[in-house]
Chains A and B, each alone.
Chain A
């Protein structure tokens, strides 16, 4: 089980990094579109503002899992 926890840790780490890159990219592409409204600005600023720290948390969670912080011995 400890091996599985560590292996999945890599997955969480990569998923968190992918989200941290994808969200700002998506926000910029949505907000530079001709049809973007002020409401879109609020929505995407809130989404990126709140989800980037969450994705950093997910990366950290993956890192801890990879380092064995959640292993049975801990």
Chain B
């Protein structure tokens, strides 16, 4: 490959990756700031607002994302990749920026939650169209033997988007202070999106259409109805189903368990303090992120299937022991208590291994019946903090195995004329639905009578095991028939 072509390819990768990273950032800040947003827009004491909040949480992730995959996938296969994923970027950035400007429930009443809900749905729609476009665009610029390596940069964006959102939120909270952040500081990460998206649009505008798409367009081979061709023809539909059940469903649960369920487990099951738990996740993400590229590159040499299925199998085998070890780090019943100091509503207990446990009791007089709310916080000592980082980083490593090569895999099993549509739907059902439901289903499993804190893991373990079996038996070398 010549230097000029190489430079152009890196330009394509940068333009695509930066935009996709910003879209993930936009999508995650809403989730990360859910508590603040609920007080601003969805007060829980108001049943209608609480209903809209639930709708925003579930509908955006589970219904609108696959729907966005269909809408923008079709557009991308007819109009082209470049303009479609430029549109999704504008839609996502505009929605995020607008959320940052909406006055709260106290100022404009029900208009506030309704507007936020609509904008959140637009975010889900845009995200559904973005990933397939970016992955397809990069893959169609890459030489066949290096698709795993070049598309792996797109694969880092979801994790880096989460990392960026955590970083911006923690930094803004630090600068404004906790109280001001709750009042108005939370708007900064949303408004900042406009700057990031502006830069990304500028970069993407300068890019050219994918060469493979331009070629089929020049030859008059563009599909007139990509939806019908993708899902109405058996030859393609069977590959969509194989991609969903044999790869993306397993990938989705591994992805969400290693990053989101891990954070939820740290905060809700282990009661690890908010900032410390976010640092644990952020550091683990940073340590493991290069492996997206390592496994993507390796998949060019040894094949995609083995690496992705190994990631699933490792999750199936090691989730239970990893989470049991993680839980033991903050298990106060197994530690020796040194001192307990009570000061007003706060009680602080120190343990022999330097773990600190804080319990803050507050009486909720606003509730219909006066009740005591207890907040529990565990602060891990340095040694245990790093053990937690290690245990999360292992899980993110599994994520990099299943996720690093997946864009190249999906691109290669579908033909150019319907690629955007065909790969976007299984990806967003696998990642968005199977993966996105992990925290909810896992939490409901642990809440069942007689359940242990580890019973929630049976959901990702079960889905990953089925996906592994389907992938192992049904995916063959002939699956990748569209490598050119």
Contact = CB atoms under 8 A, between A and B. Distances in A.
A5 B55 CA distance: 40
A60 B473 contact: no
Contacts of A69: 234, 238
B50 A70 contact: no
A57 B62 contact: no
A5 B63 contact: no
Given A38-B47, A39-B54, A54 B429 contact: yes
Given A54-B433, A57-B241, A61-B241, A5 B62 contact: no
B238 A64 contact: yes
A70 B474 contact: yes
B245 interface: yes
Interface residues of A, number: 24
Contacts of A28: none
B51 interface: yes
B128 to A, nearest CB: 13
A16 B234 CA distance: 19
A8 B150 CA distance: 35
Contacts of B238: 61, 64, 69-70
A35 interface: no
Interface in B192-242: 234, 237-238, 241-242
A63 B362 CA distance: 58
A54 B83 CA distance: 30
A50 B474 contact: no
B333 interface: no
Interface in B236-255: 237-238, 241-242, 244-245
Interface in A25-74: 38-39, 42-43, 46-47, 49-51, 54, 57-58, 60-61, 64-65, 69-70, 72
A39 B66 CA distance: 22
Chief secondary structure at chain A's binding surface: helix
B242 A61 contact: yes
A27 to B, nearest CB: 13
Contacts, number: 59
A51 B249 CA distance: 13
Interface residues of B, number: 27
A49 B245 contact: no
A47 B237 CA distance: 23
Contacts of B474: 5, 65, 70
A19 to B, nearest CB: 12
Contacts of B63: 46, 49-50
A46 to B, nearest CB: 5
A61 B478 CA distance: 18
Given A57-B244, A64-B241, A65-B474, A46 B51 contact: no
B473 A42 contact: no
A8 B471 CA distance: 12
Given A43-B58, A54-B433, A4 B51 contact: no
Contacts of A60: 237, 241
Contacts of A51: 433
Interface string B327-360: 0000000000000000000000000000000000
Contact of B476 (A4, A58, A65, A72): A72
A61 B55 contact: no
Contact of A50 (B234, B242, B433, B469): B433
Contacts of A70: 238, 242, 474
B102 interface: no
Nearest to A51: B433
A46 B59 contact: yes
B245 A46 contact: no
Nearest to A43: B58
A-B CB proximity, top 5 nearest: A61-B241, A39-B54, A46-B58, A42-B54, A38-B51
Interface of B: 47, 50-51, 54-55, 58-59, 62-63, 66, 234, 237-238, 241-242, 244-245, 429, 433, 437, 440, 469-470, 473-474, 476, 478
24 contacts: A4-B473, A5-B473, A8-B470, A8-B473, A38-B47, A39-B51, A39-B54, A42-B51, A42-B55, A43-B54, A43-B58, A46-B63, A47-B437, A50-B63, A50-B66, A50-B433, A51-B433, A54-B433, A57-B244, A58-B241, A58-B245, A61-B245, A65-B474, A70-B474
Given A42-B59, A51-B433, 14 more contacts: A1-B473, A4-B473, A8-B469, A38-B47, A38-B50, A39-B51, A42-B51, A43-B440, A47-B437, A58-B245, A61-B241, A61-B242, A64-B234, A69-B238
